[in-house]
Amino acid sequence: MKVLVIGGGAREHALCRSLSLDPDVTDLYCAPGNAGIGEVAELYPVDALDGEAVARLATELEAGLVVVGPEAPLVAGVADAVRAVGIPCFGPSREAAALEGSKAFAKDVMAAAGVPTARSYICTTPEEIDEALDAFGAPYVVKDDGLAAGKGVVVTGDLDKAREHALACGGRVVIEEFLDGPEVSLFAITDGETVVPLTPAQDFKRALDGDEGPNTGGMGAYSPLPWADPKLVDEVMATVLQPTVDELHRRGTPFSGLLYAGLAITSRGVRVIEFNARFGDPETQVVLARLQTPLAGLLLHAAQGTLDLEPPLRWRDDAAVTVVVASHNYPDTPRTGDPIEGLDEVAAQDAPHAYVLHAGTKRDSDAIVSAGGRVLSVTATGKDLAQARERAYRAVARIRLDGSQHRTDIARKAAGE
Ligand code: AMP
Ligand code: GLY
């Protein structure tokens, strides 16, 4: 099978790595990719947001499957454009991707499907904003309705800051009840009817150790979650994933692709914080590190509506940890263009248990330089989280990137340290 992956972050590198290890994949392409993806796939400098261009490339390459990684192309209808030329595509339609593209739409679907989530108000005027903030009280949760790369949400005890963010969003704002308790990311593969859950992971959204600092796209992740209730996946399947997929099917806008449930395990039970319409980054790096089932066939079944034929997924017993190495000044105004050194040392000394997935990187003649906020996702497996953590951080220590930052506490508590 020839597979074309769309995107160029560490999530796409993780997808490409797993696809490259799948014996059914004969040729692997990625657009636009990055320096690391270029080692396992042939790169094409096509704009991921241009559906026509992506469909043309997929046709020229005679791809048997296109996998769309990021949310922006999905919300822009790239999966629809690929399907329109008769090529199976893993990723929801533009209409179904609104589950991520509009928080107000997601709230409406959840209400109709009886899915537990934070109570919320959708506000458009300063008066409505003040009323909603007053109704819930502190801590305040204020979200931009549209896509904001994980940076549109402010959670604060400060009423002035909450109001300021709400007004700065400019359009529709979602103000909601604060959810306490740990967060879990649970992904499910679906063809619009059948739903196959993956294994839960936990993401670290704040920039600094101890969950301090600003929200980011994610600074690290681990799986499995030793502290979670073993019945969690079954419960979320029954109360969240299947009802949501059924509701979108009932509306005539079936969701096929990856449904990402961001959950809070609150004192009053599981609640959905958000849905995403694609694999999470960096959670995918640890989830795929543990998935034993070949990836291409699974994604193709979802794309073709035959997921009911997929045998039960197989998982490694190993634990996995990923640590994001970010550039100077991420998430505000990340500095780019800095050379990255030490990648060869990781490959020579830490493989196969630890490896580097590239996010914002590019080739600059012989060097690899930073080209984004999140630069690398250093991933490791081990017999337990403590060993995976040790291996990941040993590899991180070999990387030299001027001004870079990473959290030192990824999976620390879960590993019992
Ligand atoms: P989102 O973009 O909706 O995933 O929100 C980003 C982050 O903000 C989440 O991962 C949570 O850490 C936090 N957050 C969002 N909604 C809530 C909420 N209702 N209560 C508490 N924290 C929240
Ligand atoms: N790690 C959070 C996300 O992918 O949205």
Taking only the tens place, the pLDDT of each residue in 130-172 is 999 999 999 999 998 877 655 578 899 999 999 999 998 878 8
Q: Hunting for tokens 């694999």 — which residue is that?
A: 279
Domains belonging to the chain, first-starting first, are 2-93 (3.40.50.20), 121-176 (3.30.1490.20), 180-309 (3.30.470.20), 319-401 (3.90.600.10)
| Predicted local confidence at residue 151, as pLDDT | 58
Ligand 2 residue neighbourhood (C-beta within 6 Å)? 150, 203, 218, 276, 280-281, 283
Structure token digits, residue 360? 């914002």
Q: State pTM to two decimals.
A: 0.95
Nearest atom in ligand 1 to 205's CA: 10
| Predicted local confidence at residue 150, as pLDDT | 54
Select from 339, 333, 414, 410 the least CA-distant residue to 379. 410
| Average pLDDT over every residue of 21-34 | 98
Select from 158, 163, 185, 160 the least CA-distant residue to 175. 163
What residue type is assigned to position 315 of the chain?
W
What is the strand order of the sheet 220-223 is part of?
202-203, 220-223, 319-326, 374-382, 354-358
pLDDT band at residue 214 using 50, 70 and 90 as cut-offs = confident
CB 8 within 8 A of CB 72: no
CB 354 within 8 A of CB 403: no
Select from 360, 358, 350 the least CA-distant residue to 395. 350
CB 5 within 8 A of CB 29: yes
Instruction: Tell me 312's DSSP state.
Output: P
Q: Ligand 1, atom 10: nearest CA belongs to which residue?
A: 205
Q: Ligand 2, atom 3: nearest CA belongs to which residue?
A: 280
| Predicted local confidence at residue 152, as pLDDT | 79
| Predicted local confidence at residue 106, as pLDDT | 94
Ligand 1 residue neighbourhood (C-beta within 6 Å)? 118, 141, 143, 150, 153, 155, 176-179, 183, 205, 215, 262, 273-274
Q: Ligand 1, atom 2: nearest CA belongs to which residue?
A: 150
Query: What spatial distance separates the first Cα and last Cα of the chain, rounded to whole Å?
Result: 44
Select from 155, 146, 193, 199 the least CA-distant residue to 173. 146
The two beta strands, 27-32 and 42-43, are: parallel
**pLDDT of 94 strictly over 80:** yes
Instruction: Tell me 125's DSSP state.
Output: S
Q: What is the pLDDT of residues 181-193, one digit of tens each?
A: 999 999 999 999 9
CB 225 within 8 A of CB 202: yes
Cis peptide upstream of residue 226 (ω within 30 degrees of 0):
no
**pLDDT of 215 strictly over 90:** no
> How close is the Cα of 234 to the center of ligand 1, in Å?
23
> How close is the Cα of 61 to the center of ligand 2, in Å?
30
Q: What is the pLDDT of residues 249-279, one digit of tens each?
A: 999 999 999 999 999 999 999 999 999 999 9
Virtual torsion, Cα 354, 360, 99, 203, nearest 10 deg: 40
What residue type is assigned to position 409 of the chain?
D
| Predicted local confidence at residue 294, as pLDDT | 98
